[in-house]
Amino acid sequence: MSSERVPVELSKGVNGLEKIILRETRGSSAEVYMYGGHVTSWKNEHGEELLFVSSKALFKPPKAIRGGIPICFPQFSNHGPLEPHGFARNRLWSIDTDPPAFPTNSSNKAYIDLILKPSEEDMKIWPHSYEFRLRVALGPGGDLMLTSRIRNTNTDGKPFTFTFAYHTYFSVSDISEVRVEGLETLDYLDNLLNKQRFTEQGDAITFEAEVDKIYLSTPTKIAILDHEKKRTLVLRKDGLPDAVVWNPWDKKAKAMADFGDDEYKHMLCVEAAAIEKPITLKPGEEWRGRQELSAVPSSYCSGQLDPRRVLQGS
């Protein structure tokens, strides 16, 4: 076999759906389905999967894929009149052959540009003209970067408003051994209590029951410490002030047809989002929201992140 890795490859995925495989020279990889512009895999250089996709995920339009990184647009969850999480995650995207200029690391060849525009059917439920450009890139160190650019292309002079989330499902060894750092003392809306507002108490967030919270005015960096895997997943974000933390726990897991009864133990959603203050774009205006995911070895002895390791991004 040739040692030369093709950085970008078009391929057929589950049920014949088209997907793009990105590969980095050191061995990390990512997979993106054209259906939903949906990242379904992100592996480190050792071939370990860092995202969770349910074993019962259907990969059958019009159902969204359960796991990976669904894109919630133009609506997060039920925060509006559309179907929950909007429609971008169950539309067929296209490869953007002529994306506008992009400040990019020129040495980085493992990336793909996708684009979504509204169909006539979409215009009936959300009557706005837009261009949604998504770049998925794999950095030299195996970091996964998603950049969304949404432009209002209405010709009738009308602005539009949307909410947004990268609904990232991380793979974890055991949810009861995981902690999330960076959201301590922040206000959140509790989706399990009718979106009431509370303030997070105490230390890092740990899990012993169903959680569905929208944290507000969050820092640009959030860390997920996985004790058993001795790994820390770091989420950095830009243009996305909120962060959703979700785990369905046992009862909800059993109620979802496309989710295994016990799979909640091995996943955690931490989502970079813009929900509390919806984004409004006038015609011609563009919004940009970016998230970068990296995995670093973590020393757990102090119970804290080793800041040197994360800052150097080793």
Residue 18 designated active-site: no
Q: Is 271 a catalytic residue?
A: yes
DSSP state of 83: S
129/284 Cα distance (integer angstroms): 11
Tokens of residue 100, six digits: 């506008």
Alpha-carbon distances, residue 44 vs 41, 204, 207, 231, 291 (angstroms): 10, 25, 25, 11, 17
Q: Tokens for 124?
A: 């009936």
Buried b (16+ CB within 10 A) or exposed e, 166-183: bbbbbbbeebebbbbbbb
Give the integer Cα–Cα distance in Å for 179 and 225.
5
Burial track 70-86 (b if 16+ CB lie within 10 A, e otherwise): bbbbbbbbebbebeebb
Strands (E), 28-122: 29-33, 38-43, 71-72, 94-95, 111-116
- Neighbouring residues of 172: CB distance < 8 A, sequence distance ≥ 6: 52, 178, 224, 226, 229, 266, 267, 268
Backbone φ and ψ of 176, nearest 5°: -75, -10
**Residue among 31, 271, 276, 292 flagged as catalytic:** 271
Which of 167, 181, 263, 292 is catalytic? The answer is: 167
Residue ranges of alpha helices (H) inside the chain are 120-125, 249-255, 307-312
- State the catalytic residues: 167, 271
